[in-house]
A = this chain, B = another copy of it.
Protein backbone atom coordinates (compact mmCIF):
# COMPACT_ATOMS: atom_id res chain seq x y z
CA UNK A 1 0.00 0.00 0.00
CA UNK A 2 2.15 2.87 -1.16
CA UNK A 3 0.59 6.30 -1.27
CA UNK A 4 -2.44 6.67 -3.43
CA UNK A 5 -1.90 8.43 -6.71
CA UNK A 6 -3.67 11.73 -6.54
CA UNK A 7 -5.24 13.54 -9.38
CA UNK A 8 -3.08 16.19 -11.01
CA UNK A 9 -5.37 19.05 -10.03
CA UNK A 10 -5.37 17.85 -6.45
CA UNK A 11 -1.60 17.90 -6.27
CA UNK A 12 -1.56 21.35 -7.81
CA UNK A 13 -4.05 22.63 -5.30
CA UNK A 14 -2.12 21.24 -2.37
CA UNK A 15 0.91 23.06 -3.65
CA UNK A 16 -0.98 26.34 -4.07
CA UNK A 17 -2.39 25.98 -0.60
CA UNK A 18 1.00 25.55 1.00
CA UNK A 19 2.33 28.56 -0.87
CA UNK A 20 -0.69 30.67 -0.05
CA UNK A 21 -0.62 29.65 3.60
CA UNK A 22 3.05 30.48 3.91
CA UNK A 23 2.46 33.90 2.38
CA UNK A 24 -0.58 34.66 4.52
CA UNK A 25 1.18 33.49 7.69
CA UNK A 26 3.99 35.90 7.01
CA UNK A 27 1.63 38.75 6.23
CA UNK A 28 -1.07 38.23 8.83
CA UNK A 29 0.28 35.71 11.29
CA UNK A 30 -0.39 32.06 11.91
CA UNK A 31 -3.86 32.82 13.23
CA UNK A 32 -5.09 34.14 9.89
CA UNK A 33 -8.58 32.93 8.98
CA UNK A 34 -8.84 29.80 6.86
CA UNK A 35 -11.02 31.70 4.41
CA UNK A 36 -8.21 34.14 3.72
CA UNK A 37 -5.84 31.34 2.87
CA UNK A 38 -8.40 29.70 0.62
CA UNK A 39 -9.03 33.00 -1.14
CA UNK A 40 -5.35 33.61 -1.62
CA UNK A 41 -4.86 30.16 -3.08
CA UNK A 42 -7.89 30.65 -5.29
CA UNK A 43 -9.73 27.60 -3.96
CA UNK A 44 -12.83 27.02 -1.88
CA UNK A 45 -12.65 26.40 1.84
CA UNK A 46 -13.74 22.83 1.38
CA UNK A 47 -10.60 22.16 -0.60
CA UNK A 48 -8.43 23.12 2.33
CA UNK A 49 -10.12 20.59 4.50
CA UNK A 50 -9.77 17.82 1.97
CA UNK A 51 -6.01 18.28 2.01
CA UNK A 52 -5.50 19.28 5.63
CA UNK A 53 -8.06 17.87 8.05
CA UNK A 54 -7.65 20.86 10.30
CA UNK A 55 -5.95 24.23 10.51
CA UNK A 56 -3.24 22.74 12.65
CA UNK A 57 -2.31 20.21 9.99
CA UNK A 58 -1.86 23.01 7.51
CA UNK A 59 0.43 24.84 9.90
CA UNK A 60 2.45 21.70 10.49
CA UNK A 61 2.79 21.19 6.75
CA UNK A 62 3.98 24.74 6.20
CA UNK A 63 6.68 24.58 8.84
CA UNK A 64 7.67 20.95 8.55
CA UNK A 65 10.88 21.73 6.66
CA UNK A 66 12.10 24.18 9.24
CA UNK A 67 11.25 21.93 12.15
CA UNK A 68 13.15 19.11 10.51
CA UNK A 69 16.13 21.38 9.95
CA UNK A 70 16.04 22.37 13.59
CA UNK A 71 15.86 18.76 14.66
CA UNK A 72 18.80 17.89 12.45
CA UNK A 73 20.88 20.72 13.87
CA UNK A 74 20.94 19.17 17.32
CA UNK A 75 23.19 16.20 16.68
CA UNK A 76 25.30 18.31 14.33
CA UNK A 77 26.00 20.84 17.09
CA UNK A 78 26.86 18.09 19.53
CA UNK A 79 29.49 16.76 17.18
CA UNK A 80 30.85 20.15 16.24
CA UNK A 81 33.47 20.17 18.94
CA UNK A 82 32.07 22.85 21.24
CA UNK A 83 31.13 21.97 24.80
CA UNK A 84 27.76 20.31 25.31
CA UNK A 85 26.47 23.37 27.15
CA UNK A 86 27.46 25.64 24.28
CA UNK A 87 25.79 23.25 21.87
CA UNK A 88 22.60 23.32 23.92
CA UNK A 89 22.67 27.08 24.06
CA UNK A 90 23.18 27.39 20.31
CA UNK A 91 20.43 24.94 19.57
CA UNK A 92 17.97 26.77 21.81
CA UNK A 93 18.92 29.95 19.96
CA UNK A 94 18.00 28.30 16.69
CA UNK A 95 14.68 27.22 18.07
CA UNK A 96 13.96 30.66 19.47
CA UNK A 97 14.87 32.31 16.18
CA UNK A 98 12.47 30.01 14.42
CA UNK A 99 9.60 30.71 16.79
CA UNK A 100 10.11 34.42 17.14
CA UNK A 101 10.13 35.03 13.41
CA UNK A 102 6.83 33.18 12.88
CA UNK A 103 4.19 35.66 13.87
CA UNK A 104 1.95 33.95 16.42
CA UNK A 105 3.34 30.44 16.08
CA UNK A 106 4.48 30.22 19.66
CA UNK A 107 1.08 31.35 20.83
CA UNK A 108 -0.74 28.73 18.87
CA UNK A 109 1.74 26.09 19.96
CA UNK A 110 0.62 26.29 23.54
CA UNK A 111 -3.02 26.73 22.70
CA UNK A 112 -5.19 24.00 24.14
CA UNK A 113 -7.93 24.77 21.65
CA UNK A 114 -9.39 21.63 20.15
CA UNK A 115 -7.67 20.66 16.94
CA UNK A 116 -4.23 21.85 17.87
CA UNK A 117 -3.10 18.63 19.47
CA UNK A 118 -1.63 17.63 16.12
CA UNK A 119 0.55 20.71 16.01
CA UNK A 120 1.60 20.36 19.58
CA UNK A 121 2.33 16.68 19.24
CA UNK A 122 4.39 17.14 16.12
CA UNK A 123 6.65 19.78 17.59
CA UNK A 124 7.12 17.89 20.80
CA UNK A 125 7.67 14.51 19.17
CA UNK A 126 10.19 15.89 16.79
CA UNK A 127 12.17 18.23 19.00
CA UNK A 128 12.01 16.81 22.51
CA UNK A 129 14.34 13.88 21.77
CA UNK A 130 16.86 16.24 20.21
CA UNK A 131 16.70 18.56 23.18
CA UNK A 132 16.91 15.58 25.48
CA UNK A 133 20.17 14.46 23.92
CA UNK A 134 21.67 17.91 24.33
CA UNK A 135 20.51 18.14 27.93
CA UNK A 136 21.88 14.70 28.71
CA UNK A 137 25.26 15.54 27.21
CA UNK A 138 25.54 18.79 29.12
CA UNK A 139 24.37 17.05 32.26
CA UNK A 140 26.88 14.25 31.87
CA UNK A 141 29.61 16.85 31.44
CA UNK A 142 28.55 18.35 34.74
CA UNK A 143 27.75 21.68 33.15
CA UNK A 144 24.08 21.95 34.15
CA UNK A 145 21.61 20.74 36.72
CA UNK A 146 19.91 17.53 35.70
CA UNK A 147 16.47 17.97 37.19
CA UNK A 148 14.90 19.80 34.25
CA UNK A 149 13.62 17.46 31.58
CA UNK A 150 13.41 18.12 27.86
CA UNK A 151 9.64 18.43 27.66
CA UNK A 152 9.55 21.05 30.35
CA UNK A 153 12.43 22.99 28.87
CA UNK A 154 11.01 22.96 25.35
CA UNK A 155 7.63 24.13 26.51
CA UNK A 156 9.18 26.75 28.70
CA UNK A 157 11.24 28.16 25.89
CA UNK A 158 8.23 28.03 23.59
CA UNK A 159 6.13 29.85 26.15
CA UNK A 160 8.73 32.53 26.62
CA UNK A 161 8.53 33.26 22.90
CA UNK A 162 4.81 33.96 22.98
CA UNK A 163 3.97 37.52 22.11
CA UNK A 164 7.56 38.40 21.38
CA UNK A 165 6.65 40.01 18.08
CA UNK A 166 4.14 42.69 18.98
CA UNK A 167 5.63 44.21 22.08
CA UNK A 168 9.01 45.81 22.06
CA UNK A 169 8.96 46.11 25.85
CA UNK A 170 9.23 42.35 26.00
CA UNK A 171 12.53 40.73 25.16
CA UNK A 172 11.99 37.00 24.73
CA UNK A 173 15.54 36.26 23.63
CA UNK A 174 17.01 37.79 26.74
CA UNK A 175 14.66 35.84 28.98
CA UNK A 176 15.50 32.60 27.27
CA UNK A 177 19.15 33.31 27.76
CA UNK A 178 18.52 34.01 31.45
CA UNK A 179 16.64 30.75 31.70
CA UNK A 180 19.45 28.79 30.10
CA UNK A 181 21.93 30.54 32.36
CA UNK A 182 19.83 29.38 35.28
CA UNK A 183 20.44 25.78 34.28
CA UNK A 184 24.07 25.95 35.26
Chain A contact residues, CB within 8 Å of chain B: 107, 110-112, 145, 147-149, 151-153, 155-156, 159-160, 162-163, 166-167, 169-172, 174-175, 178-183
Contact = CB atoms under 8 A, between A and B. Distances in A.
Nearest to A154: B170
Contacts of A169: 149, 151-152
A159 B155 contact: no
Contacts of A182: 178-183
A31 to B, nearest CB: 9
Given A112-B163, A112-B166, A163-B159, A152 B175 contact: yes
A139 B169 CA distance: 19
Q: Lowest 10 A-B CB distances belong to which pairs? A: A182-B182, A178-B182, A181-B182, A156-B175, A159-B159, A151-B169, A179-B179, A155-B170, A110-B163, A152-B171
